[in-house]
Structures are given as C-alpha cells and as structure tokens.
Amino acid sequence: MARRALTWLILLGIVVILMALASAMTSESGVRLQGFGWLLWVAIGGVFVYAIYFATAEHPAWQIGTREVVYMAIGAALYGVFSYLFNGTVFVVPSVSQVALRPAIVFPVFFGYVFGPAVGFFTGAVGNILGDFLTGWGVFPAWDVGNGLVGLVAGLPVVLGRERALNLLTGLVAVLGVALSLWALTTEIQSPFFGGPLSPLMRWVPLIAAALVVALRFALGRNIALASVIVWGAVANIVGIGFAAIADIWINGYPPAVALLGEFVPAAGPNILHAAVLTPLLVGAYNALQQQLGRGAGVA
C-alpha cells in the first residue's frame, strides 16, 4: 500500500509541477492555460492526502479491518441521517449560502478524532453523499471530498500522537505567522477590504496571532485532551471546507472574495462552533461507554 501511495504521490506531484510550469510559461503573453485550475487544485489536494498517508503509513489506524469497516459505515450513515434531519425536513435551519448550517459536521470530526483519518475521511465523504442522496439535492464531488478532508484532518492526532500533533500544529502556525508578517512588512500590499496600502498595524497581526497561539499552547502544558479536540476540529473544518470553497473559484468561477465570504466563512464558522461544543461531549460519552463495555481503545 505504501508503495502504491508513493507512486501516486510522485505522479500527482509531476502533474502539479507540469501545470504550474505550463501556466508560468504562457503568462507573459497574457494567455494562460484556461479551464485547468480545478484539476490543478484537485492534484494539490491529492498530494496533501498521499503525503500524509505516506508519512504515517506504518500506523495501525490505516489498517482497514472489520472494526474500521463497521465504524466507517456507521459514521457515514449517522452523518447522512443527521444532515438530512437538519436540512429542513425535521428542523428548519436557515442559511445564507448553499451550505446549510450543519450540526451534523460533528460526525466526521468525532469519527476521525476517535478512529483515525481513514474512518474520518470515509465518514465525511460518503456521509455527505448519503445526506445529499436523501434530500435529493445531487452529488457535488468537490464538497464530498471537502467533507472527507474534515474527517481526515480530524484524525491526524491519532496517527501522529495527540501531544506531538498539537506541538506540530503550534509550530506550523508560528512559522506561518512569522512568514506572513515578514512578507507583509517587506512588500507593498493593497488592503483587501478598503483599498490603499495596508495599515502598519495589520502587518503585525499574523505575528501577534502566532504568539497568542504559542502562548496558549504553553498555558495548556500537558493538559491537552480538551484543547486537542477543539483545535483539531477547527483545523479540520478550515482545511476541508476551505478546500471545497477554494475549488469553487475554478469550478463555479467565483471571485476569491465571494468564495471566502460567501461560502467558506458561513460554512466553516458555524461548523467550528458545532464541532467545538459537541465533539468533546461525544468523546467523553464514548470513553464512558468504553469502560462499560471493556472493549476497544479509549480516547485521551
């Protein structure tokens, strides 16, 4: 399996590089490769998934046995049923965009966080398909993959180790914050909201945010159980819903601001809240159940 993953990783990497080259080489005359953006984006997503898999292929969470098959099926079915229930059949929850407010997002996050990225991905992707099947709204592959990524990313602490995963994430945010601030301080950027040059204070915002995240990590010390669920639920939604919303820039031709403010923010924002409140409750209840049954591994 690991060898196959490496083959795919290399193949997808070549596609990404070739397309980026083709686009760069044709840009000078003002004629770019048109209509291929979505393919490039999908290939980048594929590289991301295969790279994670390749790096952690040894971990038992990637082994699909009977237990995982049943958890996948139950997770997907729960996600499908609850998406259907909350999508205006039993409870009407109003929404501003095509992405209904969905408390059901807790299922890919919970199943990923407890049973690992493979179960999480399946729960998200197939559960979303099932939900859309039940409502009859149609199958939209970019959103299915996006929901799958929510489960996959939520499952990363399982394969990386919970404390290491949180440290890695803190490091990543810190590096990103420093890099963004350095970039903003050294280049002329137009303000995306008001036009004109970016105000000096705004240039420091990424650095301040990164410092806050690092401080929070140290404040937590070794007491990471709750933080881990909440943080990974949020990151999972940012990556997964972000993937689908950004894909719509090429799929539906939205300007980036519309994709971000019209799809990403209204979907990812409430999703993060739902995951942050409901996942810890589910994890706690599941641990209690484990102790009663005396089977399966509990979750820290």
Partner 1 sequence: MLVAWPYRRRGSILEAFDPRARLLFALSLMLSTLFFWDVRLLAGLWALALLYFRLNRLTWRETRRAWMLTGFIAVVFVTITFLTGRGGFEVYRAERVLARLSLPVTLFGWSPAIHLTVERIFFALSQFCRMGTVITAAILIPYTMDPTQYGVVFRGLGLPDKIAYAMDLAFRFIPTLGRDALQTMDAQRARGYELERVRGGPLAQIRRLAPLVVPVTLHALMTAEDVIDAMDLRAFGVGPRTWLTELRFRRHDFLLLGLAAALFFGSMIAAALGFGRFWTP
Residues 235-294 that bind partner 1 (CB under 8 A): 249-258, 262, 270, 273-274, 277-278, 281-282, 285-286, 289, 293
Closest approach of Cβ 101 to partner 1, in Å?
10
Q: Cα separation of 57 and 51, whole Å?
A: 10
Which C-beta is closer to partner 1: that of 214 or that of 227? 227
Q: Where are the alpha helices (H) located in the chain, listed in sequence order?
A: 2-26, 37-55, 66-86, 106-115, 117-135, 141-154, 156-160, 162-186, 200-220, 225-251, 256-258, 265-293
CB 220 within 8 A of CB 227: yes
Q: How far is the CB of 196 from partner 1 (least distance, A)?
A: 12
- Return the ∠ at Cα 149 (arms to 241 and 244), rounded to 5°: 35
Q: Which of 8, 36, 54, 204 touches partner 1 (CB under 8 A)?
A: 36
Decide whether 161 or 284 has the Cβ nearer to partner 1: 284
The span of 49-57, 104-112, 171-179, 185-193 binding partner 1 (CB under 8 A) equals: 104-112
Least Å from the CB of residue 6 to partner 1: 18
- Cα-flanking dihedrals φ and ψ of residue 121, to 5°? -60, -45
What string marks each residue from 11 to 30 as x (binds partner 1 by CB under 8 A) or -?
-------------------x
Which 41-100 residues touch partner 1, going by CB under 8 A? 64-74, 76-78, 80-82, 84-85, 90-91, 97-98
- Tally the C-alpha atoms within 13 A of residue 220's C-alpha that lie toward its C-beta: 19
Rule CB under 8 A: which of 136-195 touch partner 1?
A: 136-141
CA gap 173, 153 in Å, rounded: 15
Nearer to partner 1, 8 or 204 (CB): 8
What track of x and - describes contact with partner 1 for positions 207 through 226 (by CB under 8 A)?
Answer: --------------------
Q: Which two tokens stand for residue 83?
A: 């998406």
Q: Which is nearer to partner 1, 224 or 259 (CB)?
A: 259
The residue within the footprint of partner 1, chosen from 53, 122, 232, 264 (CB under 8 A), is 122
The DSSP output letter for 224 is -
Q: CA 34, CA 231: separation in Å to the nearest integer?
A: 37
Interacting residue with partner 1 among 46, 116, 127, 177 (CB under 8 A): 127
Alpha-carbon gap, residue 248 to 190, rounded angstroms: 24
Handedness of CA 242, 243, 244, 250 (dihedral sign): positive
Nearer to partner 1, 177 or 270 (CB): 270
